[in-house]
Chain A
């Protein structure tokens, strides 16, 4: 087995303590970039590595950093720790168990874009974790690894946590920035994108926790090393959050390109009571429903291959569904989620999800006719491509593919 890149706490006990982290090479990468590299050189290494955003969108990280507007200062880095997608629980484990590697990633990103202040936006539910992060940051300041004139240079950096208060939409980067500014978390019209107009109107890089946690080892071992992991389409490793009807749910760090079958049956121990697997959602509740036939199970999990299944890998939050539940029930759950979490800014998302919720209640409750299934599909299609942010799109993926790929479940629901 190769060495872990992200979940290193599983191989190195107590890596959440600064002395242990440092003994294992911790903060050498940060010292190296601050004392011997130009910011652009750091960005180049990250570009070479092929690292793409792990929050779901998969945008190349180094490219994002290079978009920062150098005619407008100060610059900010914001780590997106608003992990709220149903089925996603990787960032929490990383921050809880390998916090210094994450914070070193924040620090390196900050140096690369010339930020002297960085924030970690934690969802409010991560209350205890945020307080632990505050302690870790204080330790770093004490140790001279954060603060003024780092390593005897002119570079200074401070990291602060910012606690949210329960809103899925704040995982969307512009909504997150609005929330940080003390407003309701509602997405902004883009462009301009955060690297030109971000926090307080200043150039800002917003990166997911897992994305940033990759960075220290990329600096230490090189971009080519990281690129050699994973597949040609999708470089590197990923923490796959596996949940649902499997025997061993949990986080599994694996190279991109690992098959659904390997994840579910080897790592996840197979399906509870050895029942048949019916459907897979690869990107949490925002996913298209994949029919779990052999071809799908043998598909390598990278962005391009999963797209061939007319689905997205997103944040790689694999929810496994067996034959103990019906797909109309699954939709009831996902629609209820998005109806609750719609920020209310765009009418198609706000009203569409409200009505989809009514219709799916009818269908699942046995009070519907066949027309209601068509109506549900038609409301979903009216949301499509009509919203400011991705939440609107997310809310209809399972609806449209559920009706299309599992029609028998809806026939039964309507008949009953």
Chain B
């Protein structure tokens, strides 16, 4: 049984319909995002299912997970805070922001908090160079930008996630 095909059949049909019938493979990137909806990362099982749906080999699918940075092959925090600290953002305090945020959370850059809620990492340019410090938050449901941030309002944002979890 193909769990992804069954559970998301409507979404998958719509995605495949964007491309010529003989080019189903073009849907693979969107299907990998669908796979991440469940746990925030792509499992081996997902790889096989996507390969089956799109008539690709599992190797071809897994190669994409490794190549593109927004796909993950292991579970990190439920909320991935991805701080841009490329040159333009770093000229406006992004490195200090990233360091201070991690210090406040008691983790190293690239690590996850003990409760498994938040991971923090430095990432490449997010096309928001005039709004630094900024980051995107990636969850299984997608991505959201947060611009002109401070450590304080970021900690408040994290608190709001914690409350959400307790509900």
Contacts and interface: CB of A to CB of B under 8 A. Distances in A.
Interface string B1-32: 00000000000000000101001011111101
B88 interface: yes
Contacts of B91: 243-245, 319-321, 325
A333 B26 contact: no
A165 B129 contact: no
A152 interface: no
Interface string A389-415: 000000000000000000000000000
Interface in B92-148: 92, 124-130, 136, 142-145
A242 B129 CA distance: 8
Given A128-B143, A244-B91, A84 B127 contact: yes
Nearest to A170: B68
A76 to B, nearest CB: 10
Contact of B130 (A91, A242, A325): A242
B165 to A, nearest CB: 22
A337 interface: yes
A8 interface: no
A389 B128 CA distance: 25
B67 A167 contact: yes
Interface in A231-259: 241-245, 249-251
Interface string A130-174: 000000000000000000000000000000101111111000000
Interface stretch (A58-66, A175-183, A371-379): A175-183
B129 A163 contact: no
Interface in B9-66: 18, 20, 23, 25-30, 32-33, 54, 56, 60, 63-64
A181 B26 contact: yes
A385 B87 CA distance: 25
Interface string A296-333: 00000000000000000000010111000100001001
A86 interface: yes
Nearest to B126: A125
A28 interface: no
A358 to B, nearest CB: 18
B54 to A, nearest CB: 7
B33 A163 contact: yes
A296 B86 CA distance: 25
B128 A249 contact: no
A181 B26 CA distance: 5
B90 interface: yes
11 contacts: A83-B127, A85-B125, A86-B124, A87-B129, A125-B136, A164-B68, A165-B68, A182-B23, A241-B129, A337-B86, A340-B124
Interface of B: 18, 20, 23, 25-30, 32-33, 54, 56, 60, 63-64, 67-71, 86-88, 90-92, 124-130, 136, 142-145
Q: Which 6 A-B pairs have the closest CB atoms?
A: A166-B69, A165-B68, A182-B25, A249-B130, A243-B129, A127-B143
